[in-house]
Amino acid sequence: MIFKAISNSYCQHTRRNCIGHLKDHLQLHIQVPVINSVQYSSSAASVFALLLFSQRLTRVSTPLISQIRGHQHSDSKSEHSDKEDSKEPEVMPKPSISEALKKAKTEAAWGLFVADSLAMPVHWYYNPDDIVSDYGSWLKGYIAPNAKHPSSILRLSAVDGSGRGSTSSSNSLIGSVILHDKLKYWNGSASSNHYHQGMKAGDNTLNAVMALHEMQTMNRVDHDLIKPERDVRGAVLADYVSFMTTPGSHNDTYAESFHRAFFKDWVPAGEPKTEEEILEFAETRSKEMMKGRPDSQLAVIGSLVPAIPWVIRNAHKSEKECAQSVVDFVKLTHPVPSLIQFVDTYARLLHAVINGKDLKAEVLRVLSHSILGGPANRDKILQILDSAESIPRGTEERLELYQIMTGRLGSACYIEGALSSLLFLALEFHNDFEGGVLANANCGGENCHRGAALGALLAASAVNHGSEVPAKLKDGLHSLKGGIEVAVKEMNEGF
């Protein structure tokens, strides 16, 4: 156990017990189980003792809260409209893009890939202490994953669709349609196979690979940003189907539920191949699924990773236009009604920061939104951060706080909790890209996809503060590095 014992009067409180008390006394909005069980250090103890034994407040007053009181966030239904696409013009004029916007778009892309790769070795480590047990220390940079994972449930994942299920189905997608040489890790005798088996330090997970393919396709089919979005969606989906069904096109072991669900429906639809066929298939499927019983396995933070390239592509447009474009694509891959408002919210946030708005102020605005618990939940998060100022930054005790809070807000994949954790980290590290993405990795849980979305925000924010993603982190990427360099260069050429 790496954490020091604390005073006798407090040492009986494990991390699980303390979170239970936080639930009772602070009434944070998100309901997520916590499985960690470690003792607090003495520095952290004072903060949590204050929180545990303070009177429940109906209105919290802190220095941070006083800065943003009175700011109202619109909850109007028009912001999350689920209407059919309006008819787009056949060709739009080529936009003018400033150097500042080009720089922010570039860094946001790098931030996605860096954060995803840093977290990859400890993806879905729900007990953060296992990170130190398996790798000898908290992560400080890129490393390759171990072959074994302490809490892997890969063998419980369905090979023929979303969620959990059979690993020996005659209709297995894994090994025949996608992930062509990876079935042995899904249905083998070993019960603890890592989700990213055999990947190297600096490699990226499948959703990040998909995001790069999206950027490359956008550059190829509509570099000048003049074509209708529907045409570009068709090209992106056609490329997605091609690379997912081509053996050896990527080196990841795991495909989350939305990939498996998509191809489960794609096969009986006749395996459409052309852009128009695939787009019509995806649109028809989306309309049916949006009206039917939702697949909760698709309402996840992983949806934000393939959403980010659409924010970057449309960052020159209005916030509303950009968010609509993002939603229109995500509905084709993740057709779940409850997800859309979260995707819309994140798209607007990233659009704002890429366009120069202050990340901290924007996060405080988003945390006020009713879908995330509203101002009361925001104020409780701020109360914790204010109290935590007694714990020095960069210490294990401070990291301990982040681990507890992401576990409490939501360390799993489901969108409400995961986005709350992402915003908590974005608020804490609004001007510290490297610190933020490393803290995210060391918090465990669904840290790859949460990290990709966080990394894009922190990287765009860095540009607004006259900085960028550190060169050492860009250089440390492995299999996608060259592709990213070309993609961001081509994206900005000619503007």
Confidence at residue 188, expressed as pLDDT on a 0 to 100 scale? 72
Confidence at residue 170, expressed as pLDDT on a 0 to 100 scale? 76
With a CB cutoff of 8 Å and minimum separation 6, the contacts of 154 are 185, 186, 193, 194, 195, 253, 254
How far apart are the C-alpha atoms of 209 and 200, rounded to whole Å? 14
User: Measured in whole angstroms, how far is the alpha carbon of residue 126 from the centre of its chain?
Assistant: 16
Confidence at residue 440, expressed as pLDDT on a 0 to 100 scale? 98
Handedness of CA 211, 331, 33, 49 (dihedral sign): positive
Nearest CA among 300, 307, 336, 337 for reference residue 324: 307
Contact 344, 455 (CB under 8 A): no
> Where residue 259 falls among pLDDT bands split at 50, 70, 90?
very high
Average pLDDT over residues 143-165: 93
How far apart are the C-alpha atoms of 129 and 122, rounded to whole Å? 11
How far apart are the C-alpha atoms of 93 and 306, rounded to whole Å? 26
User: Which tens digits make up the pLDDT trace of 181-227?
Assistant: 999 999 876 789 999 999 999 999 999 999 999 999 999 999 999 99
Phi, psi of 300 (to 5 degrees): -135, 165
User: Which tens digits make up the pLDDT trace of 439-456?
Assistant: 999 999 999 999 999 999
Q: Is the pLDDT of residue 421 over 50?
A: yes
Which residue type occupies 82?
D
Q: Is the pLDDT of residue 71 over 70?
A: no
Confidence at residue 87, expressed as pLDDT on a 0 to 100 scale? 57
Confidence at residue 90, expressed as pLDDT on a 0 to 100 scale? 77
User: Which tens digits make up the pLDDT trace of 76-100?
Assistant: 333 444 444 445 567 899 999 999 9
User: Does the domain made of 91-492 have the CATH classification 1.10.4080.10?
Assistant: yes
Q: Is the pLDDT of residue 350 over 70?
A: yes
Two tokens, residue 387: 């109290």
Confidence at residue 88, expressed as pLDDT on a 0 to 100 scale? 57
Average pLDDT over residues 417-435: 98
Residue 167, helix vs strand vs coil: coil
Confidence at residue 44, expressed as pLDDT on a 0 to 100 scale? 55
Which of 23-27, 252-256, 418-422, 431-435 is predicted with the least confidence, judged by mean pLDDT?
23-27
How far apart are the C-alpha atoms of 301 and 324, rounded to whole Å? 18
Contact 421, 406 (CB under 8 A): yes
Contact 449, 304 (CB under 8 A): yes
**Checking phi first, is residue 445 left (phi over 0); if not, alpha (psi -120 to 50) or beta?**
left
> Where residue 47 falls among pLDDT bands split at 50, 70, 90?
low
Contact 143, 135 (CB under 8 A): yes
**Alpha carbon separation from 188 to 191, 231, 278, 306 (Å, rounded):** 8, 42, 33, 30
Average pLDDT, the chain: 86
Domain ranges of the chain: 91-492
